[in-house]
Structure 1
Amino acid sequence: MDDDTPVLDNHMHLDPDAARGMDAVDDFVQLGGTHLLVVNKPSWHLGVESTDPEDFRSVFETTIDIVADATERLPGCAWPILGVHPGLISRLIDDRGCSPDEAADLMQRVLDIAAEYVERGDALALKSGRPHYEVDDAVWAASNDVMKHAFELGADLDCVVQLHTEASEDLTEIADWADDRGLDPLHVVKHYASGRLAGPTPSVMCKKDWLDTAAESGDPFLMETDYIDDPDRPGAVMGPKTVPRRVRWLREEGYDDAIETAHVETPNRVYGIDTRRTLGEATERVGSGPNEKKGL
């Protein structure tokens, strides 16, 4: 890999205690990775089973701390993305006895807390979405209400909302919901996307055929592994070395423009981060909030 080529994994989870943590970051760097967007693990994976929104602050603080540790090891930078996993609604209903509306209200208040971190520059973006599994109409409607609230917050804060949703190549309705609330659909990122997507910006999982499709399209896209850093499922969903390996493969296939799109142009247009300028400046960024470290 060229030393001046930024390599960004747009969606990775890291666990400071129970799993590989910084070893996974080291693996990423060893193969040529430079930048990370670290999404907080589902709250229940970090020991939070609560109906008090304030209890979720520990999830966010843990994520911010491990992002700071990761940045010290990266040639570039890591940024936190904070919010609620859409599967939380089922846990609240099934395990905590909440109604769909009560669960949605709690999740919206947790998003409000996540938004505080974005507003003061301690996080880069918000995380929301809706279940990727079958739910009844009331849960589906409540989940959509949570997602729409995230769009309102994103519009107010001028920040990205990264989504966990069902598999689809057409999410124009979701993009329209964001647009109606003042959030440019470019700033809505569909995590775990295939190579083709209408509506939000796709964050493409690193399957070669999906990357080939995205590269050929010429449209904005990002690359990710959704590495979950779970000791019970090592390497799931994809290992931390995968994005840099796929960048090498794209280079071999002659997709230099696609590499520039996924790792320089799209991160800048969508998140406002400059992966080139922040490459090799880690010591200057320690102690600064993520929004001060964008490199603009």
Structure 2
Amino acid sequence: MDIEETPVLDNHMHLDPVQGRNVEAVEEFAEQGGTHLLVLNKPSWHLVEAATDESTFREAFDLTVGAVESATEVLPGRAWPVLGVHPALVSKLVEDGYTPAAARDIMQTGLDVAAEYVRDGPALAIKSGRPHYDVDEDVWDASNAVMCHAFELAADGDFAVQLHTEGGEDFEQVAQWAEERGMDRRQVVKHYSGGRLQGPTKSVLADKDELEIAIEEGDPFLMETDYIDDPDRPGAVLGPKTVPRRVRWLLEAGHEEAVRTAHVETPRAVYGIDTEATLTE
């Protein structure tokens, strides 16, 4: 199989219509063979300011929805927004004098708004999680409450949640929390995952070694760059060309089945999207 014969989805990329490369990065992705993108809003303080109310969340989300519309125009397939609240917002708010409980409430409001964007059409899924760095116990508890609120919203609306969390391989408890709230654990996606993961669906950072582990493990997986579209850090985390290049590498190594898993079957199972049909529309 040649790369032209398959959809190529980057499951987690940021675009910055305020100060980033934005559509230029998408054009690079497409030139290498990329077809579909899931675009996550950058943290509100990178686009507007640290969100403390509904209107600021909407402003950040609307910027991302606009960036996605522009991205879709240059893709052979299309892009979808995934909107939500970066878990580091809790620390920003606590530093600004909010209690962890007040920060929790603000962040849950942001998720309520993100869920509305999914229900009303422009967004595909929401994003939540918990800090990937050490925090006080009350901040950790508030963060877990925010994440569980995301699961409740997703169960109610039947859509997926992408998680930004600490590293590690065992997230069985998190998957159970989602199931207790009515979600299918397959629709819980651990962004920035390695090749091994217990619990949610893994979105594997497109590193050759981790992809080989993911293929060996045999579970459903997605591929991502976590490209952050920051002019001061042009290739961070991975550049927009990386996923198509890794797909080409996998196909050359005979991993056609794994490519189909990551770019057709898992996106359909997790998000209900058809990356093949949207290529020919």
Q: Is the 8 A contact 1:67 1:79 kept in 2?
A: yes
For structure 2, the residue ranges without an aligned partner over 5 or more in a row are none
Show the counterpart of 2:61.
60
Q: Is the 8 A contact 1:178 1:184 kept in 2?
A: yes
Say whether residues 1:130 and 2:113 are aligned partners: no
Q: Is the 8 A contact 2:3 2:248 kept in 1?
A: no
Give the 5 Å matches for 1:18-37: 18-37=19-38
For structure 1, the residue ranges without an aligned partner over 5 or more in a row are 282-296
Q: Alignment RMSD, CA only? A: 0.8
* Local SS of the residue matching 2:191: strand
* Local SS of the residue matching 1:279: helix
Show the counterpart of 1:284.
none
Q: Is the 8 A contact 1:93 1:103 kept in 2?
A: yes
In 1, the alpha carbon distance for the partners of 2:216 and 2:254 equals 11
Q: Is the 8 A contact 2:12 2:40 kept in 1?
A: yes
Show the counterpart of 1:193.
193
Show the counterpart of 1:111.
111
Q: Is the 8 A contact 1:48 1:56 kept in 2?
A: no
Show the counterpart of 1:218.
218
In 1, the alpha carbon distance for the partners of 2:273 and 2:209 equals 27
* Local SS of the residue matching 1:12: strand
Amino acid corresponding to residue 12 of structure 1 in structure 2:
M
Show the counterpart of 2:94.
93
Amino acid corresponding to residue 111 of structure 1 in structure 2:
L
Q: Is the 8 A contact 2:250 2:256 kept in 1?
A: yes
Amino acid corresponding to residue 102 of structure 1 in structure 2:
A
- Structure 1 residues 64-73 or 46-55, which shifts more? 46-55
Residue correspondences, number: 280
TM-fit CA distance, 1:98:
0.3
* Identity level (%): 64
TM-fit CA distance, 1:187:
0.2
In 1, the alpha carbon distance for the partners of 2:64 and 2:24 equals 16
Amino acid corresponding to residue 77 of structure 1 in structure 2:
R
Structure 1 runs (4+) deviating above 4 angstroms are none
Show the counterpart of 1:287.
none
In 1, the alpha carbon distance for the partners of 2:22 and 2:127 equals 21
In 1, the alpha carbon distance for the partners of 2:255 and 2:51 equals 47
Show the counterpart of 1:39.
40
TM-fit CA distance, 1:217:
1.7
In 1, the alpha carbon distance for the partners of 2:264 and 2:51 equals 39
TM-fit CA distance, 1:49:
2.5
In 1, the alpha carbon distance for the partners of 2:182 and 2:51 equals 32
Q: Is the 8 A contact 2:40 2:82 kept in 1?
A: yes
In 1, the alpha carbon distance for the partners of 2:99 and 2:92 equals 11
Show the counterpart of 2:152.
152
Amino acid corresponding to residue 225 of structure 1 in structure 2:
T
* Local SS of the residue matching 2:58: helix
TM-score by length of structure 1 reads 0.93
Amino acid corresponding to residue 81 of structure 2 in structure 1:
P
Show the counterpart of 1:11.
12
Show the counterpart of 1:261.
261
Show the counterpart of 1:239.
239
Show the counterpart of 2:102.
102
Q: Is the 8 A contact 1:221 1:262 kept in 2?
A: yes
